[in-house]
Structure 1
């Protein structure tokens, strides 16, 4: 008997092991696809937020010399000799161009300094190393200024806080400390706050509209509930660009809404409903409302109506029963819906750009700008990483309040 039991247990373990292997083989293609085409490129881009090897690769000799320079005077002749050697190295033509763009982030116009110096040194007599320092300064007088060398030294570090500081409207000043950028260049912090404010407002509006809508979906007769569900899901069936463009037509001064309001004499003049914050809210709520309704609806379907009947039989007012019984039971759906809606809303780009005004662009606009227009992946990665950290902090805060397992539907 004992021998048969051992054999049976061994067979069970083998079957379980085989089931685990089969499950892994079934999931492996999807996991591999996500790692290769999503996780790895995302990590590579985020690496550029603090990894900046352009200057050290293009100017290896100068980087070694400038590392020993402490100021406050300009570097010695050996550093100028190394700079000339790196600039005139024919094998580093492309690398120097990349480094010049990186140096231009430190001081505006540094790219011109690099190109001018390289052009003038190519035509100058550099056969005398002792006089090379004067030749470099003569090629461009900015090499005689300490602040340009200080910026060059900062840029030679392969790990830099520049992008994160810039994304927070900060910079390294002339003394090596951190200070706010000038008032006319402070755009990112205000845009971050604006993005969070717009996303939070849209999430709140979606909650106010979506909660009773989800309750109606489980309370109405099946035919009316199906029609209402069709209306909720309708935005999923059209392109985001088409929906946004349609709202521009609907909300314009000659659009349907203003025509109805003026035709009914409700307003004397057409309302300004588009190309401002109002248009952004209306359009984003329309697009994101299903992301609020569906999680709440899924939780409401699992809440038995007997709970409210029991609270009523115990003498509780319907309002008190709702606040004390029904609302807490549906809180996981509210948390999941709010989190999903907020995460999607805070990263919106097309809708605020088309429907909003000049002061309604969200932080995703700058991520797209630095990615596609200026090809400054470091700045785009830093902004994206700060936005990701903000969302994770919010998720952790909401998870602590409600419970992460409830939000993700594990409890």
Structure 2
């Protein structure tokens, strides 16, 4: 065999070996990739799609929506379109789906649920021939609300399979009659909730930083015996149920709880303080719960810093505080950044603690998302609120990384 043939053989063999190694490496990471797809990518993608895609009404009354397609939305729809809807409503009453339609239309026009349900019951007892001849008049006789174009407009608007309405609602906005966007009539709660959520998360982050930085510094520089004992107390919350830790704050902060009993018993206060079910109790309980997430990243970085740096700076005439700011603090920025991001992002999406100890004043946006998923059954609005929360976190992370990140901070 010639040398060139041997070289070609060796090259082909090397390529086969490289492909085999790549395939082996891929098979090792494939379970992790599948887990990420099913547990992370797929839920987020589903949430994003559901926030704009809502085909329930279009599937319930497709013929009515087709009949209303060319309606101008000003006067009442044509009699033929109203007759088609009457037939659809009778069919839904027979299939026991009129309540679902009423629920959907009621979101677009509050108060219309009773009109649709009552009319469905009356139409369900009529024959098809009577409905075909005078469907619109029968609707008007069943309920005077059918003479108002608003309910027909709500039906047509709710029939859009793809809609930005849930995002507009999540931003306290709505579509104006003449087109465009305008502030929503009535209570405006969601923007205020986002603002309050960010404010509470910021309070918690600052408090965990104030409490966690000195403790992490002491743990990193203390003798091994003392540091190990204190580290057990730092890790102890991870071995205790979150529900137990949260309900313990209820026992401490309630009107007849430990804190109020001590204060009144010592004569510091004459009457119990209202501490539970407030924003204060949410911040306090979450600061306690999230403190380890600030301490551990800081400790891991501080443990690797040589104490001789500070001693060298002070031996050269620097005072402790300037030496700390110019030498020690910059070296802890990786741990500081990790702790701040970790605590802030976790606290923004926290649910159990605000639900148990926050009351109305201490509720966060996650509690409203859970309400729409579990009680109002408005999954689309919950998905829109969650998508906006995700977008807000990504924007804040980008701003932090761009302007405040460890690589961009210049001290001294």
TM-score normalised by the chain length of structure 2: 0.88
CA offset at residue 347 of structure 1? 1.5
Deviations 1:342-397 (A, max 9, x none): 11111122212222242111111111111111221111111111111111111111
Which residue number in structure 1 is paired with residue 91 of structure 2?
A: 89
Question: SS of 2:174's equivalent?
Answer: strand
Moved more, 13-22 or 221-230: 13-22
CA offset at residue 200 of structure 1? 0.7
Moved more, 304-313 or 289-298: 304-313
Aligned residues of 2:87 and 2:128 also touching (Cα < 8 A): no
Question: In the aligned structure 1, how far is the partner of 2:276 from the partner of 2:330?
Answer: 38
In the alignment, structure 1 residue 149 sits paired with structure 2 residue 152: yes
Question: In the aligned structure 2, how far is the partner of 1:141 from the partner of 1:8?
Answer: 88
Aligned residues of 2:75 and 2:149 also touching (Cα < 8 A): yes
Question: In the aligned structure 1, how far is the partner of 2:174 from the partner of 2:353?
Answer: 32
CA offset at residue 7 of structure 1? 6.1
What does 1:12-161 align with in structure 2 at a 5 Å threshold? Answer: 13-89=15-91, 93=95, 96-124=98-126, 127=129, 129=132, 131-161=134-164
Question: SS of 2:53's equivalent?
Answer: coil
Aligned residues of 2:94 and 2:124 also touching (Cα < 8 A): no
Which residue number in structure 2 is paired with residue 409 of structure 1?
A: none
Moved more, 271-280 or 331-340: 271-280
Question: In the aligned structure 1, how far is the partner of 2:253 from the partner of 2:73?
Answer: 61
Which residue number in structure 1 is paired with residue 244 of structure 2?
A: 242
Which residue number in structure 2 is paired with residue 167 of structure 1?
A: 170
What does 1:208-227 align with in structure 2 at a 5 Å threshold? Answer: 208-227=210-229
CA offset at residue 68 of structure 1? 0.8
Aligned residues of 2:84 and 2:135 also touching (Cα < 8 A): no
Question: In the aligned structure 1, how far is the partner of 2:313 from the partner of 2:204?
Answer: 33
CA offset at residue 197 of structure 1? 0.8
Question: In the aligned structure 2, how far is the partner of 1:272 from the partner of 1:119?
Answer: 50
Paired positions, count: 406
Question: In the aligned structure 1, how far is the partner of 2:393 from the partner of 2:191?
Answer: 15
- 1:303–1:6: structure 2 CA closer, same or farther, 3 Å change rule? farther
Aligned residues of 1:103 and 1:111 also touching (Cα < 8 A): yes
Aligned residues of 2:71 and 2:77 also touching (Cα < 8 A): yes
Question: In the aligned structure 1, how far is the partner of 2:120 from the partner of 2:406?
Answer: 58
Deviations 1:231-281 (A, max 9, x none): 111111111110011122233455444455556666565554433233222
Question: In the aligned structure 2, how far is the partner of 1:4 from the partner of 1:322?
Answer: 65
Cα RMSD (Å)? 2.9
Aligned residues of 2:50 and 2:380 also touching (Cα < 8 A): yes
- 1:95–1:18: structure 2 CA closer, same or farther, 3 Å change rule? farther
Which residue number in structure 2 is paired with residue 297 of structure 1?
A: 299
Which residue number in structure 2 is paired with residue 232 of structure 1?
A: 234
CA offset at residue 38 of structure 1? 4.2
Aligned residues of 2:301 and 2:334 also touching (Cα < 8 A): yes
Question: In the aligned structure 2, how far is the partner of 1:90 from the partner of 1:278?
Answer: 50
- 1:145–1:357: structure 2 CA closer, same or farther, 3 Å change rule? same
Question: In the aligned structure 1, how far is the partner of 2:324 from the partner of 2:407?
Answer: 23
CA offset at residue 31 of structure 1? 2.2
CA offset at residue 141 of structure 1? 2.2
